[in-house]
């Protein structure tokens, strides 16, 4: 039984019955969902997050949501899913960076920005003097809304690019066919306004004075005069390391001297954050900073462990840095005690008399669940834990600091590779 093997290999056989019950859904899951779980467990082990600190919420997310969000659930495509507020801290990072200030006509490229381009719209508002360009290969020519307000996006040749809520859709073939039929009838005029709505060239509606949107991808886009910042978040996670290396080479050719390339992952409101900041120098891109959000030191979510490839650098760097910090007994005990108290205040994932973290209260709405980690991150940073974590890294020999947006930052080092897993498969 794979559950028993995971339990003994990664958690010393100590997973709680509640966590095992949530993970049971993985027994018959697709190979890539099982591989994702296996990878998450290896990252947790690297980070020294053990069985007692494996929250019921994380377990539910691995058991329920991993099988619905892996590439096989999306016919292998990269979903353009994004959300407003996701990169607010990165916007602030760019606005206040102490070692990078654009000299003229600042240009910001949000690469693989997703659709609707919420994070790029946020950036254009946050950086009103910058020219902001959102770029994504999945921008469609037609956007179709059904009677319930769900949308699908299509290329000019009527190829389906994406439909919303796809990860929870039980019959993907039927939904694709339904949206395709709706597009056909909206284009030939046979559908009524109640049945659906058609928007042609849909990205245009989001453009503004300092925001333009363009279809393109890594290696397929350039900016006249170059860019000062290229942000590429939640994109590399879908690809392997050689893809990343090609992307860095391309970014180096697009950036102005001194320009920044920022890549990594964020979940809601810049939590579960881990990112690398490269700077363009005369000899190419140089990694200047790796940073992560402080609640990653013992997350209640899956997001910091969500990894589709073993060799994703930010996942490895995050787990390795967290493992180094959690190896400091004094800091770990102080942090864990405070985290337990904050969770008790919030009434979620509370530690039970058996010593294990619990889950979210029954029926807690998703929006409320998503709001928990941002609260934890803000409280922990305000109480000095990001600065203290940086101090622990310094004591362990790293060049580390709390950066100007409250993340634990360090001079990048190459983390050791992840040990092989129990499950093979992407
Ligand atoms: C999960 S979304 C991330 C959206 C947004 N950046 C965010 O962080 O919320 C991943 C995006 O990567 C885009 N993508 C896929 N292949 C790409 C490529 N080769 N170059 C640039 N973007 C790509 C997809 O179309 C998709 O919109």
pLDDT attached to residue 72: 81
Measured by CA distance, the residue closest to atom 15 of ligand 1 is 78
First to last CA, the chain: 20
* Helices vs strands, H then E, count in the chain: 14, 13
The stretches in the chain having pLDDT less than 50 are: none
Determine the Cα–Cα distance for residues 377 and 300; give it in Å rounded to an integer.
Answer: 11
Please choose, from the candidates 232, 267, 238, 246, the residue with its C-alpha nearest in 3D space to the C-alpha of residue 374: 267
Q: How far is the CA of 314 from the centre of ligand 1 (A)?
A: 16
CA 338 – CA 110 distance, rounded (Å): 36
Note the residue count of the chain.
426
**Contact (Cβ atoms closer than 8 angstroms) between residue 234 and residue 266:** yes
Residue closest to 342 by CA, chosen among 375, 302, 382: 375
What pLDDT score does 426 carry?
59
Q: Is residue 96 packed enough to be buried (19+ CB in 10 Å), middle (13-18) or exposed (0-12)? A: exposed
Ligand 1 geometric centre to CA of 30 (Å):
23
pLDDT score, position 347: 96
Task: Report the distance separating Cα 161 and Cα 166, nearest Å.
Answer: 11
Residue 144 β-bridge partners:
152, 198
Which atom of ligand 1 lies at the shortest distance from residue 83's CA? Answer: 9
Tokens of 108: 């910001």
User: Which residues have C-beta within 8 Å of that of residue 352, sequence separation ≥ 6?
Assistant: 358
Ligand 1 site residues, Cβ closer than 6 angstroms = 78-82, 86, 111-114, 119, 136-138, 217-218, 233-235
Secondary structure of residue 323 in the 3-state scheme: helix
pLDDT at 73: 79
Q: What H or E segment, with its residue span, contains residue 408?
A: strand 408-410
Among the atoms of ligand 1, which is closest to the Cα of residue 80?
27
pLDDT score for 169: 63
From ligand 1's centre to the CA of 259, what distance in Å? Answer: 21
Q: What is the pTM of this model?
A: 0.95
Owner of token pair 């946020």: 122
DSSP lists the bridge partners of residue 165 as none
Classified as helix, coil or strand, 378 is helix
Q: Could you tell me the CA-to-CA distances from 194 to 151, 163, 242 in Å, in that order?
A: 14, 19, 47
On whether the CB atoms of residues 338 and 385 are closer than 8 A, the answer is yes
Residue tagged 């949206």 (tokens): 179
At residue 175, the pLDDT reads 87
User: How close is the Cα of 84 to the center of ligand 1, in Å?
Assistant: 15
Which among 388, 415, 416, 383 is positioned nearest to 401, based on CA atoms? 388
Q: Which atom of ligand 1 is nearest to the CA of 82?
A: 9
User: H-helix or E-strand containing 215?
Assistant: strand 211-215
Where would I find the H helices in 64-139? Answer: 66-69, 88-95, 118-126
Distance (Å) from CA 180 to ligand 1 centroid: 23
For strand 107-111 and strand 211-215, is the pairing parallel, antiparallel, or unpaired?
Answer: unpaired
Residue from 306, 370, 290, 386 nearest 338 by CA: 386
Nearest atom in ligand 1 to 138's CA: 25
Cα of 122 vs its chain's centroid, Å: 17
d(CA 331, CA 386): 11
Which among 350, 370, 372, 371 has a CA at the least distance from the CA of 359? 350
CA distance 292 to 324: 14
Reduce the DSSP state of residue 29 to 3 states and report it: coil
């Amino acid at each position: 039984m794979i559950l028993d093997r995971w339990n003994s290999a990664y958690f010393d056989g100590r997973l709680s019955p509640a966590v095992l019950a949530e993970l049971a859904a993985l027994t018959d899951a697709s190979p890539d969902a099982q591989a994702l779980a296996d990878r998450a467990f290896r990252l947790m082990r690297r980070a020294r997050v053990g069985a007692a600190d494996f929250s019921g919420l994380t377990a539910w997310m691995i058991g329920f949501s991993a099988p619905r969000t892996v590439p096989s659930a999306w016919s292998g495509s990269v979903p353009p899913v994004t959300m407003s507020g996701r990169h607010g801290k990165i916007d602030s990072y760019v606005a206040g960076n102490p070692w990078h200030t654009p000299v003229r006509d600042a240009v910001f490229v949000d690469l693989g920005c997703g659709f609707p381009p919420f994070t790029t719209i946020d950036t254009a508002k946050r950086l009103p003097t910058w020219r902001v360009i959102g770029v994504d290969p999945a921008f469609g020519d037609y956007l179709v809304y059904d009677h319930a307000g769900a949308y699908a996006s299509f290329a000019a040749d009527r190829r389906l690019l994406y439909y919303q809520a796809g990860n929870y859709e039980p019959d993907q073939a039927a939904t694709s066919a339904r949206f395709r039929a709706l597009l056909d009838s909206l284009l030939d005029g046979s559908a009524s306004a109640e049945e659906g709505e058609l928007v042609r060239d849909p990205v245009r509606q989001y453009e503004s004075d300092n925001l333009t949107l363009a279809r393109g991808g890594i290696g397929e886009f350039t900016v006249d005069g170059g860019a000062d910042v290229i942000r590429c978040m939640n994109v590399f996670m879908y690809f392997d390391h050689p893809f990343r290396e090609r992307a860095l080479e391309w970014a180096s050719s697009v950036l102005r001297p001194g320009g920044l390339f920022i890549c990594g992952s964020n979940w809601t409101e810049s939590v579960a954050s881990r990112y690398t900041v490269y700077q363009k120098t005369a000899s190419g891109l140089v990694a200047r900073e790796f940073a992560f959000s402080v609640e990653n030191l013992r997350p209640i979510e899956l997001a910091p462990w969500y990894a589709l490839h073993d060799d994703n650098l930010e996942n490895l760097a995050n787990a390795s840095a967290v493992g180094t910090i959690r190896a400091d007994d004094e800091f770990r005990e102080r942090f864990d005690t405070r985290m337990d108290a904050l969770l008790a205040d919030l009434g979620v994932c509370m530690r039970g008399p058996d010593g294990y973290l619990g889950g979210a209260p029954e029926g807690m709405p998703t929006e409320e669940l998503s709001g928990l980690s941002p609260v934890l991150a803000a409280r922990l940073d305000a109480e000095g834990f990001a600065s203290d974590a940086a101090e622990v890294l310094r004591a362990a020999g790293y060049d580390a600091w709390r950066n100007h947006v409250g993340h634990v930052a360090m001079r990048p080092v190459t983390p050791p590779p992840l040990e092989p897993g129990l499950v093979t498969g992407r």
